[in-house]
């Protein structure tokens, strides 16, 4: 017979308060150390589990270890390596669906500003994903121009989305000379989210690792990196391409792993002057899938978007204006030579590893609604513009 006595079903309110206070103190200490070292620090193994397993009244089952990263990301000053909470995962392996979607095919209320997939966490080991019988998903086409939205119109077809409170002399940065010498320099292509893939269609059918993601480098954004490398190399530009998947086996920590790769490449090849982190965007909402459409040439083409990071989130990044100057030149080249190819240039509050070199940018090619061929067509146009900017 069970003896009556003290209720041992859970901690007292006082105990919970003490434990919560201790956890918050540890997290704040870790964040302070992380900021002082200008980079993220890993929490001790199991701390996330211990935090999330607190027996709070009505609490559900304990979350896994990524809970630690999620809590760390929620603290003031959380930056690029924990991912912006509004549009990207804050340490867990999942991402919310796109919050703001086009209200019509030609005039969006706000563009997607997403640097991570609208995907579920990686497939559990031992499971065997199968190719669907009818792989291509119907997608609504939209051309995101920036007209009529919350953008800065710089003229000549150049639209800017500034997510910071900084007042920036954009025309001055557009006219500013590049802060590096393209003739004696090299370009590095990396993929923080290398498994990002496209809407299966035609011969481009792949076995998905997760929705809109695959580890098969013939069909994910690493394939686009291969094509960009060919285009730039054919124009006499030295290119190094890191073909590693930095978002597997875990999506959390992708930017950390990419930064390690970038630093290793720069140490081995100090002539690297620009880093292109090549992604694909995601546009989903209300059960609908969207793809971007560029009205260029006679082949279906996606749009591309440049994202330039800043130090607005509090992370050290003194050279972000130089990066923005480079981005502005690329944007002008695109809107001049291939109107509608470029979505509005986004100036982000987050750094995204772009402090590594003076020419670092994120390049988003198409969305998960676009096909691989539409993305490759867009990349051909972008590569032409980038080569032109670098070679004069």
Calculate mean pLDDT across residues 171-184.
84
Give yes or no for residue 2 having a pLDDT over 80: no
227 and 365 share a domain?
yes
Q: How far is residue 43's CA from residue 23's CA, in Å, rounded to a whole number?
A: 11
Residues 138 and 304: their CA atoms lie apart, in Å, by: 20
Residues 59 and 207 in one domain: no
Q: Would you list the DSSP string of 104-173?
A: SSS-BSS----SS-S--SPPPTT------SS-PPP-EEE----TTSS-EEEETTEEEEE-SS----HHHH
Within the chain, where are the H helices? Answer: 13-36, 47-52, 67-73, 170-175, 221-234, 254-268, 320-337, 372-391
DSSP 80: G
Residue ending a domain, among 51, 78, 105, is: 78
Per-residue confidence band for 49, with pLDDT thresholds at 50, 70 and 90: very low
The domain total for the chain is 2
Sign for the CA dihedral angle at 256, 231, 280, 340 comes to positive
The answer to whether residue 42 is domain-embedded is yes
Percent of the chain with pLDDT over 90: 57
Closest Cα to residue 332, out of 184, 162, 173? 173
Parallel, antiparallel, or unpaired for β 284-285 and 288-292?
antiparallel
Domain encompassing residue 204: 140-391
Higher-confidence residue: 359 or 14?
Answer: 359
| 352 and 222 within one domain | yes
* End residue of a domain, out of 40, 62, 78: 78
User: Is pLDDT above 60 for 85?
Assistant: no
* Judgement on whether residues 161 and 64 belong to the same structural domain of the protein: no
Q: Are residues 242 and 163 in the same domain?
A: yes
Q: At residue 240, does pLDDT exceed 60?
A: yes
Query: Does 224 share its domain with 314?
Result: yes
Mean pLDDT across 17-32:
55
- Average the pLDDT over 14-20 and give the result: 54
Q: What's the pTM? A: 0.69
Mean pLDDT of the chain: 75
73, 185: one domain: no
Tens-place pLDDT, residues 273-330: 999 999 999 999 888 999 999 999 899 999 999 999 999 999 999 999 999 999 999 9
Q: Is 54 buried (19+), middle (13-18) or exposed (0-12) by CB count in 10 A?
A: middle
What pLDDT score was predicted for residue 27?
A: 52
| pLDDT for the residue numbered 33 | 44
In the predicted model, is pLDDT for residue 262 greater than 50?
Answer: yes
Q: What is the DSSP letter of 97?
A: P
Degrees to nearest 5, angle at CA 42 with 363 and 164:
40
């Amino acid at each position: 017979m069970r003896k009556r006595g003290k209720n041992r079903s859970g901690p007292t309110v006082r105990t919970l308060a003490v434990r919560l206070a201790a956890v918050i103190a540890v997290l704040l200490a870790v964040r302070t150390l992380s900021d002082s070292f200008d980079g993220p620090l890993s929490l001790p193994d199991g701390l996330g589990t211990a935090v999330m397993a607190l027996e709070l009244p009505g609490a559900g089952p304990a979350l896994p270890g990524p809970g630690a990263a999620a809590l760390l990301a929620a603290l003031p000053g959380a930056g690029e390596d924990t991912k912006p909470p509004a549009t990207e995962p804050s340490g867990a392996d999942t991402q919310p669906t796109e919050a703001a979607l086009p209200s019509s095919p030609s005039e969006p209320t706000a563009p997607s500003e997403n640097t991570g997939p609208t995907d579920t966490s990686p497939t559990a080991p031992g499971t065997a994903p199968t190719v669907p019988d009818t792989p291509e998903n119907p997608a609504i086409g939209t051309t995101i121009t920036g007209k009529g939205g919350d953008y800065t119109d710089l003229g000549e077809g150049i639209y800017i989305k500034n997510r910071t409170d900084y007042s920036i002399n954009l025309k001055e940065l557009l006219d500013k000379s590049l802060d590096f010498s393209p003739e004696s320099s090299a370009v590095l292509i990396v993929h923080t989210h290398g498994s990002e893939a496209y809407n299966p269609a035609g011969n481009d059918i792949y076995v998905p690792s997760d929705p809109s993601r695959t580890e098969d480098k013939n069909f994910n954004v690493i394939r686009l990196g291969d094509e960009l490398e060919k285009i730039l190399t054919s124009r006499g530009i030295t290119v190094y391409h890191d073909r590693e998947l930095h978002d597997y086996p875990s999506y959390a920590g992708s930017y950390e792993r990419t930064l390690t790769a970038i630093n290793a490449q720069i140490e081995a090849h100090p002539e690297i002057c620009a880093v292109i982190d090549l992604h694909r965007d995601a546009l989903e909402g209300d059960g609908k899938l969207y793809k971007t459409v560029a009205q260029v040439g006679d082949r279906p083409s996606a749009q591309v978007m440049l994202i330039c990071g800043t130090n607005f989130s509090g992370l050290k990044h003194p050279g972000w204006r130089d990066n923005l100057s480079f981005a502005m030149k690329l944007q002008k080249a695109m809107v001049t030579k291939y109107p509608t190819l470029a979505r509005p240039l986004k100036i982000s509050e987050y750094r995204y590893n772009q402090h590594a070199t003076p020419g670092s940018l994120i390049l988003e090619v198409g969305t998960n609604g676009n096909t691989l061929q539409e993305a490759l067509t867009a990349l051909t146009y972008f590569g032409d513009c980038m080569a032109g900017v670098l070679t004069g």
